[in-house]
Amino acid sequence: MDKALPLFLPAGAQRRGGSPAARGKRSLARKSTALCNKVYFKEFLQKSEEININNFTRK
């Protein structure tokens, strides 16, 4: 039985296929992007804490 394509796909919900190598590259790219975002967010939090500490200690 063939899978019917829906008439409307939400953004980011496109069907992805391709070779196992292509799927592996996409998977690796998603993991890499997630890791980078986590590192940048952690650095942002650390810098914002430093700013808050500096603002409260200077009087």
pLDDT of residue 32: 92
Q: How far is residue 27's CA from residue 14's CA, in Å, rounded to a whole number? A: 15
pLDDT of residue 51: 75
pLDDT of residue 1: 45
Kindly report, residue by residue over 4-57, the tens digit of the pLDDT: 655 666 666 666 778 989 889 999 999 999 988 898 898 888 888 877 766 665
pLDDT of residue 14: 65
Tokens of 30: 């998603």
Residue 3 has pLDDT above 70, yes or no: no
